[in-house]
Amino acid sequence: MQFSRRTAQLLHEDHRATLAMIESLEDLIARAKRNLPNTNDSATKATLEQAAAAIEQEVRDHFAFEENELFTRLADMGDIEIGEHLRDEHHAILPVGEQVSALARTALVEGFSEHSWLQFKTHAGELIERMLAHIQKEEMALLPILEELLDPETDLELSENYSDV
């Protein structure tokens, strides 16, 4: 999908990167089934590193940008509900993501135990479910709103701010 506003396009590209990370997590879980994944395996290691980095950096920065830059502007324009709803989802998603990131980082050092693998699968499954629904809402509601409401000057300012994040 292509957006005419640079801010919407940047957020869309982030969504695509997050979806790729989610697919990697799903593949890791599916490959392992009931077995403990070998964290020395290059594909497993890459998935764990990618997930931890994405959650610690991109997802957190993405959420902060939306909350600090977009939702406040939408509220100023009279559209409060979407920002409040998406902010609530951010507050539900981020702690789960932080759990997945911490478990991934620990597994990279120590490997998985039966207990830590069960925790990882449980939290990763919840993160996957929440993120897929959240991204879908943003793609179908938030980004089209940005397309309509942002003038070229505001779009340029926001996209430059986002690129600096």
The ranges assigned to domains in the chain are: 6-164
Check residues 165 and 119 and name the one with the higher pLDDT: 119
pLDDT at 1 over 80: no
pLDDT of residue 79: 86
Q: Look over the chain and give the mean of its residue pLDDT values, rounded to a whole number.
A: 94
The domain 6-164 is placed in CATH, from the list 1.10.3720.10, 3.90.320.10, 3.50.50.60, 1.20.120.520, at: 1.20.120.520
- Residue-wise pLDDT for 52-100, tens only, equals 999 988 899 999 999 999 999 999 888 899 999 999 999 999 999 999 9
Q: What is the CA radius of gyration of the chain?
A: 17
Per-residue pLDDT averaged across 20-48, rounded?
Answer: 94
Residue 34, pLDDT score = 80
Phi, psi torsion values for 37, nearest 5 degrees: -65, 145
Mean pLDDT score, 127-147: 96
Q: How far is CA 95 from the centre of its chain?
A: 12
**Band (164; pLDDT cuts 50, 70, 90):** confident
Q: Ramachandran region of residue 13, left (φ > 0), alpha (ψ -120 to 50) or beta?
A: alpha
